[in-house]
Structure 1
Amino acid sequence: MTTIADAHDHGLIHDLSHMSVLSRQAIGRRRTLRLLLSAGGAAMVSACGSSDASGSVETTSSTTTTTNTTTTSTTGTTSTSSESCVTDPTETNGPYPADGSNSVNGSVVNALDDNGIVRADIRSSFGTASGTAAGIYMQLTITVVNVNSGCAPLAGYAVYLWHCTRDGQYSLYDIPGENYLRGVGVTDANGQVTFISIFPGCYAGRYPHIHFEVYPSLARATTYANRVLTSQLAMPTAACTAVYATSGYTSSRSNFSSTTTANDNVFGDNTAAQIAAMTPAMTGDITNGFTGSVTVGLAI
């Protein structure tokens, strides 16, 4: 049996040898500690660099760009996703909004309070009107987000969308007997609302575009006074070129050749970031139609 005295009383030679071993072990431990601290410091620098890149907020004039990185942990799994959004600028609702803000022949034009305006497919008229707008099929999904809350989706918001025919005319104004190419939709839990329509034409003096207004709820989407944003979308150049080459868009072809977003009287004063955000990403062709998506940013 070894006692405490046995462990500490073996003479000077034993003690010197034992101290040498302890010294080597201490050096080894210090070397290991330095390696661990070095690796840890590199990891911290890397992590800080990643955080700065993914959590930036950039403001240029009236443009706010928010980039958000979210890490979600499930059982044994960690996934990271990033998204960015830009505050959409306010634009004119133009002379043909039918939102209660103007009149035609002395009568206020407001399609927002009409039964039937809430619909996904806006190609046909509703109510007592029965016409259908001709043109190439287009499906557009709009995602409404809050740029002040990490691009969080805004559910329950109402979006009123309208645009011209393939000949550049507007229902209820140029075509008073029809109300097609107008509709209201409500965003879902993902902040999304989808419309089915035709690809809009291009008329003289304007770049091809789609008008829209955002309201805080469907109940309040009855008059323009309740809107939280009025703006426009710029149609993608490649899709315009393909669509306007078809026989049904003859007038649009010549009008489009002389206009750009830069010389347009609405889009011309926007930043490059704003124009990019206001232009839907679109795929498809003239045979099967086009499908697009765009994010609309509100600063709430």
Structure 2
Amino acid sequence: MNEPQDPRPASLYLPEDDNDDEMIGTLLGRRQALRLLGLGGSAAALAAGGVLAQRGGPPTGGTSAGSSGPTGLPGCVVRPAMTEGPYFVEGEPRRSDIRKDSRTGRVSAGVPLKLDFVTSRVAVGGCTPRAGVLIDVWHCDALGTYSGVAGNAGDFLRGSQVTNAQGRASFTTIYPGWYQGRAVHIHFKLRPLNAAGQATGEFTSQLFFPESINAAVFARSPYRQKGKADTPNAQDGIYRNGGSQLLLSVKGDPVGGYTATFDVGLNIG
């Protein structure tokens, strides 16, 4: 299979040229986020909906599905929406383990990665788990290849799940590789579903990884046969448009594998 080549020049990933790469909701600073959660403000700004990311423990008297974040920011801060890119495929298989190609049975080789999503509904004073959110995840394999696009068959490293009553969905995958012109990343899409199973909103973005972890992973097989990644986070046009807010905190090592959790407050749909 061939390495994917994005049909658009890298410059077209910049927000002024790509209509997909736009904010959903309102970008909040730390003080604004605290006010929204009842520490000096009202709930008016939440009424219109938005996409906000959990970055800390619960405020006094509130609840939160968040797992980590800056001290003193118990509420939610907006994470930027980012371009869907050319490799999304609608109707990805509903499954937790996305390593296997369902057509051939082949399992993608690479360092194991367990990626947990925690979705919440944001309200003044805290956040509560949000069930019934369809989460799509897709990314390239260790050598930079996506399934199902650019002449490549299969559905490896693609999958979707609906969040449970605790607002959680977990994916078992491998650490993604890299391809020309892009930092290491995972794509995801969130769509709240109504009782009939129809999407009532949509949020699309990307997750990124610390450079130190990338270096440790890419020194191992099969990643090392592709060589050194050509685009670090700081040089990626998409990452520069808010990627630091989507940088995963990764635990583990390249021998036993990694785990990461992404917490997001979803007030659309």
Q: Same fold (TM over 0.5)?
A: yes
Shift in Å at residue 85 of structure 1?
2.6
Distance in 1 (CA, whole Å) between partners of 2:53 and 2:209 is 21
Distance in 2 (CA, whole Å) between partners of 1:54 and 1:252 is 50
TM-aligned CA distance change 1:215 to 1:200, over 3 Å:
same
- In terms of fraction of residues, the more strand-rich structure is 1
Does residue 208 of the first structure (1) align with residue 180 of the second (2)? no
Q: 1:69 corresponds to which letter in structure 2? A: P
**Higher normalized contact order (CA 8 Å, seq sep 6+, divided by chain length):** 2
Match 2:88 to one of 90, 97, 113:
97
TM-aligned CA distance change 1:135 to 1:143, over 3 Å:
same
Partner of 2:239: 267
Partner of 1:290: 258
Q: Which aligned pairs between 1:1-300 and structure 2 lie closer than 5 A?
A: 55=39, 68-71=58-61, 83-99=74-90, 111-112=91-92, 117-126=93-102, 128-148=103-123, 150-174=126-150, 176-217=152-193, 219-220=197-198, 227-250=201-224, 253-255=227-229, 258-270=230-242, 275-276=244-245, 278-300=246-268
CA RMSD across the alignment:
3.1
Contact 1:202-1:253 within 8 A present in 2 as well:
no
Larger Rg: 1
Distance in 2 (CA, whole Å) between partners of 1:269 and 1:65 is 16
Identity %: 32
Distance in 2 (CA, whole Å) between partners of 1:227 and 1:54 is 26
Distance in 2 (CA, whole Å) between partners of 1:195 and 1:250 is 24
Q: Where do 5+ consecutive residues of structure 2 fail to align?
A: 1-33, 63-71
Shift in Å at residue 253 of structure 1?
4.5
Distance in 1 (CA, whole Å) between partners of 2:224 and 2:204 is 30
Q: Which runs of 4+ in 1 moved over 6 A?
A: 51-54, 62-67
Shift in Å at residue 213 of structure 1?
0.5
- In terms of fraction of residues, the more helix-rich structure is 1
Q: Give the TM-score of the pair, scaled to structure 2.
A: 0.69
Shift in Å at residue 239 of structure 1?
1.8
Distance in 1 (CA, whole Å) between partners of 2:184 and 2:251 is 17
Q: Secondary structure at the match of 1:243?
A: helix
Cα deviations by residue, 1:265-294 (Å, 9 ceiling, x for unpaired)? 211122xxx623x12221111111111111
